[in-house]
Structure 1
Amino acid sequence: MASANSFRFLTLAIMVIFGTLILENSRVSADCQIDIPGLIAQCKDYVKIKGPKVPPSEGCCGVVKKLDIPCVCKLVTPEVEKIVSMDKVVYVARTCGLTVPAGLKCGSYVVPPRA
């Protein structure tokens, strides 16, 4: 029961944070064309802070491949970084075949070179 409640809370928190980001950064988010509901539904389990890195599903990759990562990185705030592991975000993006350049800044996170 506790894990179901924490899962719902995490989902709600991510939706609220990204919703707030979109409203506050409407020009940038419009340019980025982010499918927030799809991103949350398909990828939340792969970018949460707790747990190991896990290869993303095809559904997650389908949503991620539509993202402009440098554009999306402009939306990352300290609040997002409290919920989402930026290291896992980069891992997911790269695993899905996107180029995420080393040195790109996403919030306070600086993308490292590929290992």
Structure 2
Amino acid sequence: MGSINTRLVLAMAVIVGTLIFDNLQVAAQCGGSIPQLIAQCSQFVKIEGPKVPPSPGCCTAVKGADIPCVCGLVTREVEKIISMEKVVFVARKCGLTIKPGLKCGSYTVPPKRLT
């Protein structure tokens, strides 16, 4: 039940963030499906808990999105729910190159660690 509530809250946060930009087409221009990102990846980017490698379904959703564009939609409300550090972790685990210095909400992507 918590998972459904988390997804609902994330969906609402993204919608609110998009509405703050006052342009719903901005979200559509980011590629992929924001609802798919939420449905497939919310459990891997929530603030609580450790970093967990994403599922294949999450990676499919991530690879279909324009991450820098999606980062432009991140608001403070979204950052209260999801960990931007985990978002970068998930994207990199899915094989995406996330450039250091990219702003994702108020979070600035650090250089990739060699671990």
TM-score (norm 2): 0.89
- Distance apart, 1:39 and its partner CA: 1.1
Q: Take 2:30 and 2:56, find their aligned partners in 1: how far apart are those partners?
A: 21
Mapping for residues 3-82 of structure 1, pairs under 5 Å? 4=1, 6-23=2-19, 24-82=22-80
Give ranges in structure 1 of 5+ residues lacking alignment. Answer: none
- Distance apart, 1:29 and its partner CA: 1.2
Which one has a larger percent helix, Structure 1 or Structure 2? 1
TM-score (norm 1): 0.89
Q: Take 1:36 and 1:52, find their aligned partners in 2: how far apart are those partners?
A: 23
- 1:54-101 Cα shifts (integer Å, max 9, x gaps): 000100000000111111111000000000100000000001011100
Number of matched pairs? 111
Q: Percent identity?
A: 58
Judge conservation of contact 1:39–1:63 (CA < 8 Å) in 2.
Answer: yes
- 1:89-115 Cα shifts (integer Å, max 9, x gaps): 000000101110000011110000000
- Distance apart, 1:8 and its partner CA: 2.9
Give ranges in structure 2 of 5+ residues lacking alignment. Answer: none
